[in-house]
Structure 1
Amino acid sequence: MDATRVLAKLRYDAALPIGMALALLSGGAQAQGVSLPTIEVQGAGDGTGGAGGPAAETARGPVNGLVASRSATGTKTDSALIETPQSISVVPSQQIEDQAAQSVSQALRYTPGVVSESRPGRYDSVFVRGFGGGGTAANYVNYLDGLKLQRAINYGVPSVEPYGLSRIEVLRGPASVLYGQGNPAGIINLISKKPTPEPFGEVLLRVGSYGEKQAAFDIGGPVNADRTLMYRVTGLTRGGDTQVQYTRDERVYIAPAFTWKPDDATTLTVLAKYQNDPETGFYGFMPAVGTVLPNKNGRIPTKFFPGDPIFEGFSRKEAMIGYEFEHHFNEVFTVRQNVRFMDLDSYFKTIAGAALTMPGQSIITRRATYSREHLAAFNADTQVEARFNTGALRHKMLLGLDYQYGDSSAWTGFGGTVSPINWLAPVYYQPFTPASAGYIDQIASQAGVYLQDQVKWDRFVLLAGVRTDWAKADIVTRATGASTKLNDRAVTGRAALLYLFDNGVAPYASYSTSFDPVTTLGFGGTPFEPTTGEQYEAGVKYQPPGMNAFIQMSAYQLTQQNVLTADPTNIGFFVQTGEVRARGIEIEGRATLMEGLDLIAGYSYIDARVTKSNVAAEVGQPPVAAPRQTASVWAQYTFQGGPLLGLSIGGGVRYVGESNGDATGFFTVPTVGRIPARIPAYGLVDAVISYDFAAVNPRLKGMKLQVNAQNLLDNQYVSSCFSQSCNYGLRRTVLATLSYRW
């Protein structure tokens, strides 16, 4: 189904939420027994960082520095982080810039509870609290501006350029009460850069390791004198090789945005994005023997390419357009609607390594895989927010209706006849015969209605919500005409309580649930129920009065039920009797310790275990590629005077603990036997140095030179294994960036 047909089909669905919202507002603020809330007005800057002083932070806007104070991801309302009783991390654009993150997953390197580069490369696949990451359980960066980034059937997964973001937010734990179906570990929400009423501009040039070259710009400001019309255009082009031979990473990105603000009560922002990734680097596997396990011929080089240059590549094109609308009717009612349409094309082809032959330990068997995919997707979320008092209770109530629709197709082949390759003396450009391909079409939709109330009484904050979802899917195999229809309904909820002390300490406790439909079928074509998740969390947040700092600590138990496990009767099929449980603690701190000195630190301990499975060897094992411990610290200091004025130096250390490389806890290697499948822990060092040229000449104000070194000590490490297919982590990367702002 093309884009025109999708929009026509959904015209009524998109209009329905607006009609519902207006009907709810017809009573206005005159409802009996309801009093208007007290409006607090505080002095602030002009909201842009211009002549009026520092920008007043909003939940959906940029952060001043590295310490955020507000977020909308956890509540869908503009709320203070100290008053939100759930664990949330905010990565501001300043951190993305300081650490020269080239992808969203790289920007999450210093976020506790998140392992973001278990498979570095073309996808932003992540683990959160031990769930997700790779294979069929992949948890990809999945929300943009509060709307889900839908994916196609197999390899068609959208990616977002971090240069176009003002912040990245991680909401840990089940989020279905606000967002519907999803991974029980939480969501990652990306917030786009938006127009501002003050004119600004930036251009930058970057060169780096493996021949990388990048140019980018970000310009915007008012269109007219009264600043009711504003624009912003962000663009980037990048290209270079990677650490693996015969592979490249290339991107072209452009994101225009336009805001119409006719008065203080109404805002309409149109957001568009186009991204073309002609090449996306290497995403294949290496054998365990020769990477994480000894090989009698030595270690397989990180630059070794197991494929063939004549059949290797992954291209992706994404186009998105949508809007964010908000209108305040009065002191009580506000209505918002966010809408986005996305069109995604991807083409994947590779000759991938399959297994290492024994006993020579140098010959790798291979297979060919290819897939052309297309996705047309639509999302809409309409919210009515009401702020009112009932006696001593202050309410911020939210009623919402969201809808998502995706029409995707995939032409995929897997297998074929391919000659093996000797990693000691590789010979490329060999003939091969790929497998025949088959077409699959899939139409999936979800509609949800949710109600949430944030209630403040004295120093208590109560957050409660409930949601009902209807999820449908229709999967058709064209060759046979076989059709599988799924129709699921789920009710999820959340309840939490927080107490605000005068000294900035806020302890809280929460309970939340989630669901996620399963498209795999059991023996005889039997459909499965959605997997479900539930989490108990308790924690404490601390925002020291008078200090730019935020510290949070949480402890949780997260359980996923209805997990697929091997069918004991019908080999090759599944039954739904598995369960995974994760218990852990997380600590995160962000602070400006003194003028010019910023600090980010985090630690996570996760005891994740398979608690139920029909495969006895899996019970008690941690999920594959989910380390028990991670820790990180980043510090940066900008000299405030003297001969070093304008100089900034910083660095960080990242530690990722030992992880499991096989669901059973053992690699079974031919002629060798069973070997514990333990992926060694690793530590990485990053560094940055920059210089602001305004320190030597005021006419050079806005010009800065920055040099980043990621994995400074060039640690060669294995980031993860999935059975005996392993991934190397990224080697040392040096990036030099010259930027000019005005």
Structure 2
Amino acid sequence: MDKHLLALASTFLIGGAVYGQTSGIVKGKVVDTQNNPLSSVTVSIGDKKVRTDHSGHFRLHGVDQNTVIKFTYMGYQTTVIDYVFSTKSPEVIIDAITLVSNEQAIDEVEVFGERNKKLKGLEMITRMPLKPSDQIQSISVISNKVIQDQGILTLTDAVRNIPGVTLFGSYGGVKESLSTRGFRGVPVLKNGVRMDSQFQTASGVVDMQGVESIQMIKGSAAVTQGVITDIGNAGGVINVVTKTPNFTNSGEVGVRAGSWGQFRPTFDFQTVLDKKQTVAFRMDGAYERSDSYRKSVSSNRVYLNPSLAWKPTDKTTITLEGDYFNDNRTPVNSAVNLNPSQGVNALYVIPNNKFLGFNSDNNNTEMKSFMAQINHELTDRWSIRASIATSSYQVDNQSSSSSLIKDDAKQYNTFSRSMSKSLRDDKNKTFQFDLIGKDLYTGKVKHLVQAGVDYRIADATTTSFAGKLSPLEKNVLLKKADQNSNVIDIIDIHGDWVNDL
């Protein structure tokens, strides 16, 4: 009797074990004929469907024995494989699936955007390696396609494509400070690093030749990056992403000419440096000079943006990039208030053939930045991202201004003119480290986990000079102002981040 019961129990246990292993997990990677990963490829078994991530990987649950796996992707031939499930292991990694291009299968179309793709540089401000559609924040993106089609040359022109963002002040036409949702001074970052230490980010001067995209987190979601002394703001935060190699061989040269003597030659070339396609280099540059409809006003600038990308292994990418920007232009005050009370709007617009300044008025802005970043996949589920960046923002501004004074007849029709000079040396350093886990499961609940730390140092020094002008006076001596001279502001910021989606 006992022997029969033991045999019957053994049969149920064996049967249960076999039944429990009739389905499992299949993982793999989808690439093209050049061994480049393909994202958003549809991988299906009957009604079950998943899509590959940005690195071409996929993961299928509940794969039965003797099943057929189908791989479909627009512009490529559909591939079908017969898969026989092994009962020895509940999780199997199959060889890379190669899809062959089928260019004749679809008609020619013009694409204005990229769907289901993780944008370059977006994780610098969101800290999560997700596509914009998967992010929990409200994000607007201005692509390089839009920048080129609209002929955008300034950050102000670019953000007009984002509802609710306006120019707060140009400071005589030499800077760009933006405003949104009632908040003055939206922080403007370059590759996730502050361009200056002021919370108004008055140094938002960018040459669009080196811009890959402009991304903005709108609303209170941006406060997760900190406020005032950090890179966030309750109104939003703007991130300017610069161009890096795409591991292709291409080049482009352009010239733009316009009114008032505008002349702007540009170039952009990139190349792969080795046969294994593991090292690539890119260089962007621009020069621009122009006059103005206003007499005695001119500008010129030089911009360079070199970058190098290296893939020592299939799971590791190292990127080095930097840019140099040098801009000289005449600061302009084109209006004067004729009422002694600043609360009364009585602006007198200066005629176009008049200029209240001097030939010596000039604003020089020099910006330099460098970033090194590494992305490494530890396993199929875990990866790390680390970056270190530095930026330098230096301004030498000499300008003149007019103010209304009260003459002997007590008539406010006399103006005095003063000259001022200001220097600013602003340096920022940032270190970021993130540990990211994807496709993590708690039962049937899927997780994407990120934990990270960042450390930022801001060091700014400002010096102000001022002098009063009398009629026909020459060789005006500029002296240090009584206040706000040599103001040194050093900020040391440390932050920790943990997210779970």
Scaled by the length of structure 2, what TM-score is found? Answer: 0.69
Distance 2:493 2:111 in 1: 36
Please say if 1:184 is aligned against 2:222: no
Q: Which residue of 2 aligns with 1:247?
A: 297
- Give the letter aligned to residue 285 of structure 2: G
Change (3 A) 1:44 1:186: farther
Q: SS state of the match for residue 239, structure 2?
A: strand
Please say if 1:401 is aligned against 2:453: yes
Q: 2:380 aligns with which of 331, 340, 361?
A: 331
Change (3 A) 1:325 1:448: same
Distance 1:48 1:162 in 2: 29
Deviations 1:529-564 (A, max 9, x none): xxxxxxxxxxxxxxxxxxxxxxxxxxxxxxxxxxxx
Aligned residues: 392
Q: Which residue of 2 aligns with 1:528?
A: none
Distance 1:283 1:37 in 2: 67
Q: Which residue of 1 aligns with 2:197?
A: 151
Aligned-pair CA distance for 1:129 = 1.3
Please provide the CA RMSD for this pair.
Answer: 3.6
- Give the letter aligned to residue 175 of structure 2: Y
Q: Which residue of 1 aligns with 2:8?
A: none
Aligned-pair CA distance for 1:342 = 2.1
Q: Comparing both chains, which one has the higher relative contact order based on Cα–Cα distances under 8 Å and sequence gaps of 6 or more?
A: 1
Distance 2:254 2:355 in 1: 32
**Structure 2 gaps, min length 5:** 1-23, 38-51, 56-109
Change (3 A) 1:371 1:377: same
Aligned-pair CA distance for 1:331 = 1.5
Q: 1:322 aligns with which of 371, 389, 410?
A: 371
Aligned-pair CA distance for 1:384 = 0.8
Please say if 1:376 is aligned against 2:460: no
Q: 1:139 aligns with which of 176, 186, 189?
A: 186
Q: Which residue of 2 aligns with 1:165?
A: 211
Aligned-pair CA distance for 1:431 = 6.0
Q: SS state of the match for residue 480, structure 2?
A: coil
Deviations 1:492-512 (A, max 9, x none): xxxxxxxxxxxxxxxxxxxxx
- Give the letter aligned to residue 335 of structure 1: I
- Give the letter aligned to residue 417 of structure 2: R
Aligned-pair CA distance for 1:77 = 2.5
Change (3 A) 1:160 1:131: same
Q: SS state of the match for residue 107, structure 1?
A: helix
- Structure with bigger gyration radius: 2
- Point out the more displaced range, 104-113 or 280-289: 280-289
Aligned-pair CA distance for 1:45 = 10
Q: 1:193 aligns with which of 229, 232, 243?
A: 243
**8 Å CA contact 1:131, 1:139 repeated in 2:** yes
Q: 2:480 aligns with which of 436, 458, 461?
A: 436
Q: Which residue of 1 aligns with 2:139?
A: 88
Please say if 1:410 is aligned against 2:459: no
Distance 1:370 1:154 in 2: 21
Distance 1:206 1:186 in 2: 33
Q: 2:177 aligns with which of 94, 114, 125?
A: 125
- Give the letter aligned to residue 126 of structure 1: L
Distance 1:201 1:185 in 2: 38
Change (3 A) 1:334 1:48: closer
How is 1:279-290 mapped onto 2 (pairs within 5 angstroms)? 279-284=328-333, 286-289=335-338
Aligned-pair CA distance for 1:190 = 0.8
- Give the letter aligned to residue 443 of structure 1: I
- Point out the more displaced range, 109-118 or 256-265: 109-118
Change (3 A) 1:376 1:360: same
Distance 1:317 1:375 in 2: 10
Aligned-pair CA distance for 1:400 = 1.1
Please say if 1:220 is aligned against 2:285: no
How is 1:462-501 mapped onto 2 (pairs within 5 angstroms)? none
Aligned-pair CA distance for 1:229 = 0.3
Q: SS state of the match for residue 105, structure 1?
A: helix
Q: SS state of the match for residue 210, structure 1?
A: coil
Change (3 A) 1:38 1:355: farther
Change (3 A) 1:218 1:392: same
Distance 2:304 2:276 in 1: 27
Q: Which residue of 2 aligns with 1:206?
A: 256
Q: 1:390 aligns with which of 426, 434, 442?
A: 442
